[in-house]
């Protein structure tokens, strides 16, 4: 598996995977990924195996040294294989190289595999946003303070 930046030519495959991963839960449209691919304040990585996109993740680099992770998706065949963790470690590592010292994200309450991954990386649950998602599901807000370092989660 190789992690590569989100480029315009990968957007159709990422959009297709997004529709599979988030079926019935308001998947991001093609135009959103196209905007992110051209956003200089965004950091996106795509996991590729051969000629197949197996995962993606990204977020915004916000003034003040924080990376807001917006989206992470992994093909069903790649779940629990380390793909999501590799994408997150890549994102956090790249953000740290750029001087970012923290991160935050929102995750669907009840998404135990995602919550476990983020906890493993050092994120802490800080709040709940009631009915955050369009289906009325709550979001758990998680924060990673300080640079991601070996031994404390993160890289």
Helix intervals (H) in the chain = 11-21, 30-37, 83-97, 112-120
Q: pLDDT (tens digit, 9 = 90+) per residue, 103-154? A: 999 999 999 999 999 999 999 999 999 988 888 899 999 999 875 544 444 4
- Residue 131's CB is within 10 A of a number of other CB atoms, namely 10
Q: pLDDT (tens digit, 9 = 90+) per residue, 48-95? A: 999 999 999 999 999 888 999 999 999 998 788 899 999 999 999 999
| Superfamily classification of domain 2-145 | Gcn5-related N-acetyltransferase (GNAT) (3.40.630.30)
**Strands 52-62 and 102-108, bridge-based pairing:** unpaired
**Strands 124-129 and 139-145, bridge-based pairing:** antiparallel
Short-list 62, 67, 8, 55, CA closest to 33: 8
pTM of the predicted model, to two decimals? Answer: 0.90
């Amino acid at each position: 598996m190789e992690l590569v930046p989100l480029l315009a030519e990968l957007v159709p495959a990422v959009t297709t995977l997004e529709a599979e991963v988030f079926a019935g839960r308001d998947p991001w449209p093609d135009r959103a990924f196209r905007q992110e691919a051209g956003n200089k304040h965004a950091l996106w990585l795509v996991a590729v195996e051969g000629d197949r996109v197996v995962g993606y993740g990204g977020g915004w680099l916000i003034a003040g040294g924080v990376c807001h992770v917006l989206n992470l998706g992994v093909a069903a065949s790649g779940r629990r294989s380390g793909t999501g963790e590799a994408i997150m470690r890549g994102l956090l590592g790249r953000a740290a190289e750029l001087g970012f010292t923290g991160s935050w994200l929102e995750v669907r309450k009840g998404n135990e595999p995602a919550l476990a991954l983020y906890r493993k990386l050092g994120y802490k649950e800080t709040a709940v946003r009631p009915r955050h998602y369009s289906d009325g599901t709550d979001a758990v807000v998680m924060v990673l303070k300080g640079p991601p370092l070996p031994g404390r989660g993160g890289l």
